[in-house]
Structure 1
Amino acid sequence: MLKIGCHLSCSKGYEHMGKEILDLGGNTFQFFTRNPRGGVAKAIDENDVAAFLKMAQSNGIDVILAHAPYTLNACSADEKTRSFAIATMADDLSRMEYTPGNLYNFHPGSHVSQGVEVGINYIAEMLNIVIKPEQTTKVLLETMAGKGSEIGRTFEEIKMIIDKVELNSHLGVCLDTCHVNDAGYDIVNDLDGVLEHFDQIIGLKRLCAIHLNDSKNPFESHKDRHEKIGEGSIGLEAIVRIINHPKLRHLPFFLETPNELDGYAREIKLLKELYL
């Protein structure tokens, strides 16, 4: 069975998101842990969590993905911004334990002219502070498109972060199809080659989730603008190969396409029909 879902608003709680994704035809979902531009997270409602966990078990929702706010930049040149990133991720990971055994995704950040090595050291420093031996949440580094001074534009940069984290058994990767296409990994014409390279550098065992997005921009554009499935430069045929690839088909796929809920429902239906 295809594990497929989309990004939902967490404003009404876990149980509401669970019902919403089932209504859309999906069986997993992604949500921001708080306002994507930062701020204080809404208090956890333990009754809501309990109702969601019961619903999830009954309806085959066996994994969900939380997304850190976009303002989290662990490798900023500004110390206050780095401190915010550490405090936010630590709080998020504590809250994630209310729904144990799930995934937490973040953008590695932008080094802002400090250089890649400095940025990677700051990111690893944060992860060494916030990751705890007892946590059940897997923390995912997201592959990036490479605009500006983003870190994570290559598999090698992600591997450098992982290697500097002491408890890296708690780390994984979320591969974004738009981002890797825009970064210069040819998933349209050489998906096998890209996955082989990923396996050689990072290891496919660390690949835990896929952000499934088409791209508004051409290959290797370093732009990062998502498009609806089948309407961008990646195209439907390549996306169908991705969801059916023997090394990927077991993973959860999360749509971040520019859609309202009815658009997500159409894309989920289409991809389920094309899943072999």
Structure 2
Amino acid sequence: MKKYPIIGSHVSMNALEKYLIGSVKTAINDGANTFMIYTGPPQNSNRKPTSELNIEQMHEILKEHHLDPKDLVVHAPYIINISNPVSQSTWDFSVEFLKKEMQRCDDIGIEILVLHPGAFTKGDPNQALNKLIQGLNEVFKENYKTKIALETMSGKGTEVGINFDQLSFVLNQVEEKERLGICLDTCHMNDAGYDLNNWEAIKQEIDQKIGREKVLVFHLNDSKNPLNSHKDRHENIGYGTIGFDNLLKILWDEDFKEIPKILETPFVNEQSPYKAEIQDLLNKQWSDPFKNSK
């Protein structure tokens, strides 16, 4: 029987820990019932063949611990920018590499791929959004099982996808609408100007402009910066400007009960914070877990 809420973190996948075996074991040790991974380094295109990642063993461990593979998430690498309207070579590379990432997700058996919408660099936002739609349409010509979740961005630099109006435009214009959703990142939303003290009002805007059914995953992060700062600097749960209570409210929101929530908070003294943060969130009580380190 599935346990709620569905919460986990971004975990590593490396040779030392036997790739996906280590990923799922780390999540279980942290008290999580989901996790997110990169399928390879986020800053380059070097990738191990999926046949070497111990996929079958990962699924055996998932089954043994009653974790649902449909709740798992992959994050696309940062080098993909299918919103780039000024460099055809960058756009072409990004589309082809995104196709490869989608295939890798299908191979692993993970059905949610979080993608940063990209940036317009020397173009303009409207050009970028149209290139994003064009790129998604090209990727969706292939028959992948995996869905793409466009991540809400903070608005730093020339990013797009920084508000629900931009995301709604993409969701409405893309051809394969059922294969596209969004990832709500709480730090990015705060830094883009969405006041999470007013969560019910934000939900109403999601309903009106996006559709609640389009929310495929949350990134649950506090923020080091104030509202509307456009900075994108994640903070540990309870130590930032969003605050523990607001993040707790989102985690336990019955309207998003089935949606996985992923922590991407910073390590503390080179140690993973996730076990302590998950425990606090599940206990609904902030314990100031890093009080001697912050």
**TM range, smaller chain:** over 0.9
Equivalent in the alignment of 1:245: 253
Q: Could you say if the C-alpha distance between residues 242 and 96 of structure 1 is closer, same or farther in structure 2, counting changes exceeding 3 Å?
A: same
Equivalent in the alignment of 1:159: 168
Residue 134 in structure 1 maps to residue 119 in structure 2: no
Aligned equivalent of 2:36, options 26, 30, 39: 30
**Unmatched runs of 5 consecutive residues or more in structure 2:** 286-294
Equivalent AA in structure 1 for residue 213 of structure 2: K
SS at match of 1:97: helix
Q: What per-residue deviation string (whole Å, max 9, x for no partner) do you get for residues 168-195 of structure 1?
A: 201111000000111111112x100001
Equivalent in the alignment of 1:203: 211
Equivalent in the alignment of 1:274: 284
Contact kept, 8 Å, 1:242 with 1:249, in 2: the verdict is no
Equivalent AA in structure 2 for residue 21 of structure 1: A
Q: What per-residue deviation string (whole Å, max 9, x for no partner) do you get for residues 227-263 of structure 1?
A: 0000000011111111122222331110000025541
Match runs of 1:53-202 below 5 Å:
53-62=59-68, 63-76=71-84, 77-100=86-109, 102-132=111-141, 134-188=143-197, 190-202=198-210
CA distance in structure 2 between the aligned counterparts of 1:179 and 1:50, rounded to whole angstroms: 35
CA distance in structure 1 between the aligned counterparts of 2:140 and 2:89, rounded to whole angstroms: 20
CA distance in structure 2 between the aligned counterparts of 1:229 and 1:47, rounded to whole angstroms: 31
Residue 224 in structure 1 maps to residue 227 in structure 2: no
Q: Could you say if the C-alpha distance between residues 250 and 47 of structure 1 is closer, same or farther in structure 2, counting changes exceeding 3 Å?
A: closer
Equivalent in the alignment of 1:215: 223
Residue 51 in structure 1 maps to residue 57 in structure 2: yes
Q: What per-residue deviation string (whole Å, max 9, x for no partner) do you get for residues 24-76 of structure 1?
A: 11111111122111222111126711111121122122121101111111122
Q: Answer with 42-51 or 84-93: which moved more.
A: 42-51
Equivalent in the alignment of 2:274: 264
Aligned equivalent of 2:6, options 3, 6, 16: 3
SS at match of 1:234: coil
Equivalent in the alignment of 1:15: 21
Equivalent AA in structure 2 for residue 264 of structure 1: Y
SS at match of 1:45: helix
SS at match of 2:184: strand
Over the matched positions of the two proteins, sequence identity in percent amounts to 34
Offset at 1:133? Answer: 6.3
Q: Could you say if the C-alpha distance between residues 35 and 232 of structure 1 is closer, same or farther in structure 2, counting changes exceeding 3 Å?
A: same
| TM, length-normalised to structure 2 | 0.89
SS at match of 1:85: helix
| TM, length-normalised to structure 1 | 0.95
RMSD: 1.6
Offset at 1:101? Answer: 5.3
**Unmatched runs of 5 consecutive residues or more in structure 1:** none
CA distance in structure 1 between the aligned counterparts of 2:98 and 2:201, rounded to whole angstroms: 34
